[in-house]
Structure 1
Amino acid sequence: MAAVLAGCANYAGIHSDKHMEEANHFASTQSIPAERGRWPAADWADQFGDAQLKALVAEALQGSPTLEKARARVAAAVAFSETANANTLPQVGAGYSWTRQRLTESTFIPPGFAGSWQSENKAFLSATYELDLWGKNREALKSAVSTVHATEAEAEQVKLTLSSATARAYNELARLYALHDIATNEVSQRRDVLRVTNGRVTMGLETEVEKRTAEANLAAAEVSVSALEGNILRTRYQLGALLGQGPDRGLAIARPALGAGDEVRLPDNLPADLVSRRPDIVAARWRVDATTHDIKVAKAEFYPDINLSAAIGLDAFGWGRFLRAASRTASAGPAIHLPIFDGGALRAQLKGRYAEFDFAVASYNDTLIGALTDVATQLSDIRAIDAQIVNAERTDVAAQRALTLALAQYKAGLTTQLTVLNAQTNALASSQVVTNLRMTRRDRQIALAAALGGGYTEAPASTQQAALAR
Structure 2
Amino acid sequence: MNNQINSSARRFTGPALSVLMATVLAGCANYAGIHSDKHIAEATSYATTQSIPAEQGHWPSADWADQFGDTQLKALIGEALQGSPSLEKARARVASATALSEGANANTLPQVGAGYSWTRQRFSESTLLPPSFAGSWQSENKAIITASYELDLWGKNREALKSTVSAVRASEAEAEQVKLTLSSAIARAYNELARLYALHDIAQDELKQRREVLRVTNGRVTMGLETEVEKRTAEANLAASEVALSSLDGNIQRTRYQLGALLGQGPDRGLAISRPTLATGDEVRLPDNLPADLVSRRPDIVAARWRVDATLHDIKVAKAEFYPDINLSLAMGLDAFGWGRLLHAASRTASAGSAIHLPIFDGGALRAQLKGRYAEFDFAVANYNETLVNALTDVATQLSDIRAIDTQIDSAIRTDTAARRALTLALAQYKAGLTTQLTVLNAQTNALASSQVVANLRMNRRDRQIALAAALGGGYADTSDSTKQAALPR
TM-score normalised according to structure 2 size: 0.93
Where structure 2 has 5 or more consecutive residues not aligned to the other structure, the ranges are: 1-20, 483-490
* Paired amino acid for 2:431: K
Picking from 337, 340, 362, the partner of 1:320 is 340
Q: Distance in 1 between matches of 2:333 and 2:72?
A: 69
2:247 match: 227
**Residue 164 of structure 2 corresponds to which residue in structure 1?**
144
- Paired with 1:34 and 1:4, the residues of 2 have a C-alpha distance of 60
2:445 matched to 1:425?
yes
1:105 to partner: Cα distance: 2.4
Residues in 2 aligned to 1:186 and 1:215: alpha-carbon distance in whole angstroms? 13
Paired AA for residue 254 in structure 2: R
Structure 1 residue matching 2:48: 3-state secondary structure: coil
Q: Which position in structure 1 is the counterpart of 2:83?
A: 63
3-state SS in 2 of match to 1:306: strand
Quick one: which amino acid aligns to residue 310 of structure 1? L
The answer to whether the 8 A contact 2:25-2:323 is kept is no
For 1:187-243, what per-residue CA distance to the aligned partner results, in whole angstroms no more than 9, with x for missing partners? 000000000000000000011111011000000000000000000000000000111
> For residue 354 of structure 2, what is the aligned residue in structure 1?
334
Tell which deviates more after alignment, 317-326 or 157-166: 317-326
- Is the 2:197–2:252 Cα contact (8 Å) retained in structure 1? yes
Counterpart check, 1:105 vs 2:125: yes
Contact kept in structure 2, 1:308 and 1:334, CA below 8 Å: yes
Partner of 1:307, secondary structure, is: strand
C-alpha distance in 1, partners of 2:105/2:26? Answer: 33
Partners of 2:327 and 2:354 within 8 A in 1: yes
**Number of matched residues?**
462
The CA distance in 2 between the partners of 1:451 and 1:169, in whole Å, is: 17
Please state how far the C-alpha of 1:461 moved relative to its aligned partner: 5.5
After superposition, where does 1:31-430 map in structure 2 within 5 Å?
A: 31-430=51-450
Choose 383-392 or 97-106, whichever is displaced more: 97-106
Which of structures 1 and 2 has the bigger CA Rg? 2
CA distance in 1 between partners of 2:230 and 2:128 (Å) = 120
Q: How does 1:16-31 map to 2 (within 5 A)?
A: 16-31=36-51
**Structure-2 separation of matches of 1:106 and 1:67:** 70
Alpha-carbon distance between aligned partners in 2 of 1:319 and 1:415, rounded to the nearest angstrom: 119
SS of residue matched to 2:118: strand
CA distance in 1, matches of 2:146, 2:281: 67
Local SS of the residue matching 2:28: coil
Deviations 1:283-322 (A, max 9, x none): 0000000000000000000000000000001111111221
CA distance in 2: counterparts of 1:180 and 1:108, whole angstroms? 101
Q: Please tell me the residue identity of whatever aligns with 2:163.
A: S
Partner Cα separation in structure 2 for residue 318 and residue 152 of structure 1: 56
More off after superposition, 7-16 vs 115-124: 7-16
The letter of the residue matching 1:284 is: A
Counterpart for residue 466 of structure 1: none
| Identity of matched residues, % | 85
Letter in 1 for 2:290: L
Match of 1:467 in 2: none
1: CA distance, partners of 2:324 / 2:348: 33
Q: Which amino acid aligns with 1:340?
A: I
Higher deviation after alignment, 17-26 or 319-328: 319-328
CA distance in 1 between counterparts of 2:419 and 2:350 reads 100
The letter for the 2-side match of 1:97 is S
* Structure 2 CA distance for aligned equivalents of residues 375 and 106 of structure 1: 86
Counterpart-to-counterpart distance in 1, 2:27 and 2:291: 50
Gaps of 5+ in 1: 463-470
Alignment of 1:2-13 (within 5 A): 2-8=22-28, 10-13=30-33
- Confirm whether residue 447 of structure 1 aligns to residue 484 of structure 2: no
Q: Residue in 2 aligned with 1:465?
A: none
How far 1:9 sits from its partner (Å)?
Answer: 5.1
